[in-house]
Amino acid sequence: MTRARPEAGNDVRAAQSDQKDVADRPLLVVMLTQDTLKEQRLLKTSIVVTIVVSIASISFGLFIGSKSIAFDGFYTLIDAAMTLVALLTVRLIAKGDDDRFQYGYWHLEPILALVNGTVLTFACAYAFIDGLNGLLSGGRAIEFGPGAIFAAVAGLISLAMFGYIRWSAGARASQLLNLDARAWLMGGILSLALCVSFALGSTIAVGRFAAYAPLVDPLILIVVAAVLLPFPLATIWRAGQDILQIAPSDLDRDVREIAQSVAEAHGFSDFSSHVMRSGRQQFIEIGLVAPSDQTSTSFGDLDAIRREIAQAMGGLSPGYWLTVDFTADKRWV
């Protein structure tokens, strides 16, 4: 969403002072509504499929005595709960700003990602410890053949959901949809890895190393937990950067280049830029400093410069909150 707000100097709302911006508003509302509805529909579908797959995994894992399959289902069930909370977050974001949250509800997205990553990190840590305990206690005998078949089916379903979400979301995939798609991809790969491991376990169980067969399941649990752990940790890192308002280096570089180009083209003596990201929303503030002897400029000319900056950043499209300040006193920027 592209916005402008009053600041020091001659800054005014571009959308109020220029007819072109007013005409663009309905288009932006339609774009936001369509994207939000699509996002909610995809998240609902993901939640339903996730719950079905996770309950089936937990039940089947307990039935054959495989903690690795049960953990896979438990991990997926936690992710389903997080996706449900994500759906509620999307609805809040779609409401836009209000008197209490005047910049909207975008900040909830990285907070949710942080909670998601933290919960899944603890789940992986618990599974790793449980796997070690299983190895030290001598392991457990399970039915590898049915486990391999179930893991293969679960893996194919997960990869199909990953493809469906990525294809349906298109280029406007949000952080929440990206998290959900990545979770399906990760789950699919790990389920297929479980399938291969169980197939090897069934071979070991009928060979001369049959005595080591009970160790296969806890060993797989340790490997799965260790492989999964970096993903929620990466989620925590990215969400932490958004919550702490650490400026994205690529966005900062692009905005500075645009601000410098516009300043040079229109004779401004200096400029400043500040950026931050909160979930899918990018907040950009650019200050343009005119020479002290600069003659007055009309609001129409200033709005034209704003449009030039907006177009350089991709046009008046959802995704960023833009503020452009004009002043002859550098202290204001």
Residue 13 has pLDDT above 70, yes or no: no
Q: Going by DSSP bridges, is the β-strand pair 270-278/281-289 parallel, antiparallel, or unpaired? A: antiparallel
Domain end marker among 185, 215, 243? 243
* 27 band by pLDDT with thresholds 50, 70 and 90: very low
Q: What's the total number of domains in the chain?
A: 2
- Angle between helix 67-95 and helix 144-169 axes, rounded to 10 deg: 20
Q: Are residues 184 and 311 in the same domain?
A: no
Same domain for 228 and 303, yes or no, is: no
Q: Verify that 225 and 275 share a domain, yes or no.
A: no
Question: By residue range, what is the domain housing residue 66?
Answer: 34-243
AA identity, residue 32: L
5 within some domain: no
The amino acid occupying position 251 is L
**Distance from C-alpha of 98 to C-alpha of 275, rounded to nearest angstrom:** 23
pLDDT of residue 156 exceeding 90: yes
- With a pLDDT cut of 90, the percent of the chain lying above it is 9
pLDDT tens for 31-59 read 445 667 777 788 888 888 988 998 999 99
Residue 16 lies in a domain: no
Clarify whether residues 278 and 188 are in a common domain.
Answer: no
* pLDDT category of residue 30 using cuts at 50, 70 and 90: very low
Instruction: Decide if 7 is inside a domain.
Output: no
Same domain, 284 and 206: no
Burial of 146 from C-beta contacts in 10 A (0-12 / 13-18 / 19+): middle
We report the CATH number of the domain holding residue 270 as 3.30.70.1350
Confidence of residue 3 (pLDDT cuts 50, 70, 90): very low
| Residue found by looking up tokens 């300040």 in the block | 325
pLDDT (tens digit per residue) in 60-80:
988 888 888 888 888 788 877
Residues 215 and 266 grouped into a single domain? no
Q: What DSSP letter does each residue of 19-86 carry, written as one string?
A: HHHHHHHHHHHHHHHHHHHHHHHHHHHHHHHHHHHHHHHHHHHHHHT-HHHHHHHHHHHHHHHHHHHH
Instruction: Write down which residue in 243, 277, 298 finishes a domain.
Output: 243
Please state which of the ranges 64-78, 109-123, 183-197, 311-325 shows the lowest mean pLDDT. 311-325
> Which residues are registered as beta bridge partners of 324?
286
Mean pLDDT of 113-137: 86
Q: What is the pLDDT of residues 253-286, one digit of tens each?
A: 989 999 999 998 888 888 999 988 877 778 889 9
**Residues 6 or more apart whose Cβ sits within 8 Å of residue 52:** none
The backbone region for 227, taken as left when phi is positive above 0, alpha when psi lies in -120 to 50, beta otherwise, is alpha
CATH code of the domain containing 178 = 1.20.1510.10
> What pLDDT, on the 0 to 100 scale, is given for residue 319?
65
Do 118 and 146 reside in the same domain of the chain? Answer: yes
In a domain, 26, yes or no: no
- pLDDT of 105 above 50: yes
Q: Amino acid letter at 52?
A: V
Residue at 24: amino acid letter: D
pLDDT score for 159: 92
Amino acid residing at 256: R
311 and 187 assigned to the same domain:
no
| Residue 55: inside a domain | yes
**pLDDT score of 318 more than 90:** no
Integer CA distances (angstroms), 233 to 80, 122, 124, in order: 18, 10, 10
Question: Which of 243, 277, 309 marks a domain boundary?
Answer: 243
| Whether residues 211 and 260 fall in one domain | no
Is the pLDDT confidence value at 28 over 70?
no
Q: Taking residues 163-170, report their average pLDDT.
A: 82
Interatomic CA distance for residues 323 and 333, integer angstroms? 12
For 208-250, what is each residue's pLDDT tens digit? 777 888 888 888 888 888 888 888 898 899 888 888 888 888 8
Q: Is residue 171 part of a domain?
A: yes
In one-letter notation, the amino acid at residue 131 is G
CA atoms within 13 A on the CB side of 22: 4
Say what the pLDDT of residue 4 is: 34
* 163 or 140: which leads in pLDDT: 163
Please report the pLDDT score of residue 33 as a whole number. Answer: 58
**Residue 195 located in a structural domain:** yes
28 falls within a domain: no
Q: Are residues 46 and 174 in the same domain?
A: yes
Q: With 80 as the cut, is the pLDDT of residue 86 above it?
A: no
- Amino acid in the structure at residue 143: E
Contacts of 177 (CB under 8 A, 6+ apart): 39, 42, 43, 165, 169
pLDDT at 102 over 90: no
236 and 99 share a domain?
yes
Residues 89, 224, single domain; the answer is: yes
Residue appearing with tokens 């399959």? 69
The residues, ordered by sequence, that sit 6+ positions from 201 with a Cβ below 8 Å of its Cβ are 142, 144, 147, 213, 216, 217, 220
pLDDT band for 153, please (50, 70, 90 cuts): very high
Q: What pLDDT is attached to residue 217?
A: 81
Name the residue type at position 9: G
